[in-house]
A and B are shown apart, each in its own frame.
Chain A
Amino acid sequence: MTANTRRLFLIALPICALLILAALILPPLSRSRELAKRAVWQAERQSAGVAPALRPDAVLIDRGGNMDRHFRAGELDTGVPVTESRSVSKALAAVLPKMATAERKVVYTAGFHMLVGDVALAQERTRKLADEMGGYMQSLDGPRLTIRVLAEQFEAAVERLAELGTVVRRHIEANDVTEQFYDLEVRLKNARALAERLRALLARADDMADALAAEKELARVTTDIERMEGRLNRLRNRIAFATITVTFDQPGDVPPPELTTHLPFAWLHELGLDTLLAFPQSYRD
C-alpha cells in the first residue's frame, strides 16, 4: 500500500463511519418527530373538542346539496368510517382554523355542480366573487369555470358560491402538503449550501481540471436549485390560493346521482385540456 493510498484510506474511513452512523440514527429520529407531530396535533384537536379527529394527512370530503352529506377521511384515527350531519359551514369552521394554527401547509380544493336560471350571469358573478376574494379566474370551459381565491377566503367563497343557485353536488378537500413543503425547503437549503461550497472550491481551485470539475457540478446544482425554487413557488401558490371549480347547468338538466369517488389528490382534478391549454390571465394581458 503506497503512502498516497494510505492517506486516502485514512480520509475515507471516518467519512464512511459518519455516513453509516447517520443512516442508523436519522430514520428513528424522523419517526419520533412524526409521532410527536401527530401527538401534538391530536392534543390540539382534543382540547378544541373536535372529534373524531382526522389524521393530518387525511382528506376532508363533503358532498352537499341534494346528495348525501357526510365527511369521509382517507383514514381516520379511529379506523372506522364517520358520518357527520353538521352543515358545511360548521364543519369547515371547526376544521380550518385548527389547520391554520398548527402551521400546516394545506391545499384547499372545492368542486360544485349547480343549477342556475342564467348560466352566463352565474359565471359572471363567480368571476366577480373571485376578484373580491383576492383571486382570479383560472379557466373557463363551457359551463365549467375554475377560480382561485385566497386560502383564507376559501370558506367564505364556498358559502357565497352556494348562494348562486341550487347545489346539486359539492366536494371539498383539504390536502395536507406539510411534509412535501418542508422536505422541498430542506432540499433547497441543502442545495444552496452545496452551491456555496462549490463556489468556494472554485475560488480556491489551483489547476484547470479542478476548476472545470467544480464549475460543471456547480452548473448542475444551480439548475436543480432553479427547478426546486419553481416547485416550491408552485406549491406556495397552491397553498395561498384555493381552487374552486364550478359547473353550472340550467334546471331540467338534473344529472343522475354521482357515484364517482373523488380521489383525495387535488392535482387529479386539475388534469385536462381546460387547465393544460389555459394560461394565466395576467400572462395573457
Chain B
Amino acid sequence: MRRSTLVLCLVALVACPSCKQEDRMDVPDGFVEVGREARGDYETRAVSADGVVVALRVEPNPENGAPEFWADAVRNELTQARGYALAKEEEVKSASGLDGRLMEFTADAEGVKAAYLVAVFVKDDDVLVAEAGGKADAVAARRDALRTALLSVR
C-alpha cells in the first residue's frame, strides 16, 4: 500500500502540469499583505504604514522574450511615455537564481518626490515584475529591505 501510494503520487506529480511551484516573493518586515480584492492585478501586494507599496506582477511571456527585452520595454515605457527618470540600473540575480534587471526611477508627483523600483525576471512562460514605490524619503528609509524583497522573486 505504501509503495503503490508513493508511485501514484509520483505519477500525479509528473502528469499534472499544474504541479509546478507558483511564483512568489517575500514581503519585507513592517508590511502587511492586502487581501484578494485589494490586490488588483498583482499576484502579491503589500503596504507599509507610511504608504510604501511592494507588489509582484506575473504576466505572460507568449513569445519567450528574454529578460533584456522585457527590462528594456519597462524602462522605455516609464522613461519615454510616462515621465519617470532612470536613477540606477543593474543586472541582478534573484535569490532563486533567475537572471534579471533592477531599475530605480524617480518621479515628481505634483511637487512630491517619489521613488519607484522595478525588478524584471523571466521564468518559464512568465514575466515576473516586482515593484516597490512611494514617497522618496519613505522608500529611501527601507531601500535595502525593498531591494531584498524584489530579488526574492522565485
Contact between chains at B133 and A277 (CB < 8 Å): yes
* B69 closest partner in A (C-beta): A263
B36 within 8 A of A: yes
Chain A nearest Cβ from B154, distance in angstroms: 13
Chain A nearest Cβ from B28, distance in angstroms: 15
Q: How far is the CA of A233 from the CA of B37 in the complex (A)?
A: 10
Name the one of B6, B9, B14, B81 contacting A19, with C-beta atoms under 8 angstroms: B14
Residues of B within 8 A of A141 (CB): 109
Contact between chains at B16 and A194 (CB < 8 Å): yes
Chain B nearest Cβ from A233, distance in angstroms: 7
Residues of A within 8 A of B5 (CB): 201, 205, 210, 213-214
A11 within 8 A of B: yes
Chain A nearest Cβ from B149, distance in angstroms: 14
Q: How far is the CA of A142 from the CA of B112 in the complex (A)?
A: 12
* B9 closest partner in A (C-beta): A217
Chain B nearest Cβ from A248, distance in angstroms: 15
Q: How far is the CA of A206 from the CA of B74 in the complex (A)?
A: 54
Residue of B11, B18, B76, B133 with highest tally of chain A CB at under 10 A? B18
Residues of B within 8 A of A205 (CB): 5
Q: How far is the CA of A273 from the CA of B7 in the complex (A)?
A: 49
A280-B38 contact in complex given A194-B16, A224-B22, C-beta closer than 8 Å: yes
A21 within 8 A of B: no
Residues of B within 8 A of A214 (CB): 5, 9
Contact between chains at A271 and B3 (CB < 8 Å): no
Contact between chains at B37 and A282 (CB < 8 Å): yes
Residues of B within 8 A of A194 (CB): 12, 16, 18-19
B114 within 8 A of A: yes
Contact between chains at A267 and B57 (CB < 8 Å): yes
Residues of B within 8 A of A29 (CB): none
B60 within 8 A of A: yes
* B57 closest partner in A (C-beta): A267
A271-B78 contact in complex given A201-B9, A213-B9, C-beta closer than 8 Å: yes
Give A167-189 interface residues, CB cut-off 8 Å to B.
Answer: 177, 179-180, 186-188
Q: How far is the CA of A214 from the CA of B74 in the complex (A)?
A: 42
B100 within 8 A of A: no
* B35 closest partner in A (C-beta): A283
Contact between chains at B36 and A233 (CB < 8 Å): yes
Contact between chains at B22 and A228 (CB < 8 Å): yes
Contact between chains at A272 and B84 (CB < 8 Å): yes
Contact between chains at B18 and A280 (CB < 8 Å): no
A197 within 8 A of B: yes
Give B72-105 interface residues, CB cut-off 8 Å to A.
Answer: 73-74, 76-78, 80-82, 84
A209-B2 contact in complex given A230-B39, A279-B34, C-beta closer than 8 Å: yes
Q: List 8 A-B contacts (CB under 8 A).
A: A201-B8, A210-B1, A227-B22, A230-B36, A272-B116, A273-B114, A273-B133, A275-B40
Residues on A lying within 8 angstroms of B by beta carbon are: 4, 8, 11-12, 15, 19, 22, 57, 141-142, 177, 179-180, 186-188, 190-191, 193-194, 197-198, 201, 205-207, 209-210, 213-214, 217, 220-221, 223-224, 227-228, 230-231, 233-234, 237-238, 260, 262-263, 265, 267-273, 275-277, 279-280, 282-283
